[in-house]
């Protein structure tokens, strides 16, 4: 199996929990942020982790997610809502419950898109978020 170019079927997707999607989406999103930082010269090696944290922390994800909400299809909105409404055991320090749920929703969406191999859509949404980041972060 090629884990960089997936094309998971709908029958398999239905068996993956929203938190499972969020777990995968967290890694996808962080990899995209790290790639973006390196490619845009936004951080040196010593500051890369600190710079990445500014984008991957729940409050930042929640703010950036707002930029893409109007662009989501009905199916994407349903995945986002499913992630937002999932029950999480704890909220990390420094994030409100609402921010954490919005971040989980975003991560669920990114995991869902990644598993389907919809990298063009992932890139489109990510670029929109990073354009917004120049204003929000």
Query: How many other C-beta atoms lie within 10 A of the C-beta of residue 91?
Result: 16
pLDDT for residue 117: 95
Q: Which of 2, 11, 26, 120 is catalytic?
A: 26
Confidence band for 67, pLDDT divided at 50, 70 and 90: very high
Confidence band for 2, pLDDT divided at 50, 70 and 90: confident
Burial class (CB in 10 A: 0-12, 13-18, 19+), 64: buried
Domains of the chain: 13-136 (1.10.1520.10)
Give the best-scoring range by mean pLDDT among 49-58, 93-102, 115-124. Answer: 115-124
How far is CA 18 from each of CA 30, 45, 86, rounded to the nearest angstrom?
A: 18, 33, 6
- Residue 11 among the catalytic residues: no
CB-based contact 53:30 (threshold 8 Å): no
Q: Is the pLDDT of residue 18 over 70?
A: yes
Give the best-scoring range by mean pLDDT among 5-9, 38-42, 114-118. Answer: 114-118
Region 81-100 average pLDDT: 86
């Amino acid at each position: 199996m090629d884990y960089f170019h997936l094309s998971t079927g709908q029958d398999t997707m239905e068996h993956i929990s929203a938190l499972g999607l969020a777990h995968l989406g967290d890694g996808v999103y962080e990899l995209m942020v790290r790639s973006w930082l390196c490619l845009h010269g936004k951080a040196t090696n010593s500051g890369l982790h600190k710079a990445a944290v500014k984008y991957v922390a729940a409050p930042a994800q929640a703010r950036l997610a707002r930029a893409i909400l109007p662009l989501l299809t009905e199916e994407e909105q349903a995945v986002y809502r499913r992630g937002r409404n999932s029950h999480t055991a704890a909220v990390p320090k420094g994030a409100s419950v609402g921010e954490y749920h919005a971040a989980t929703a975003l991560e669920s969406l990114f995991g869902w898109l990644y598993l389907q191999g919809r990298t063009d859509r992932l890139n489109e949404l990510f670029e929109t978020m990073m354009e917004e980041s120049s204003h929000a972060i």
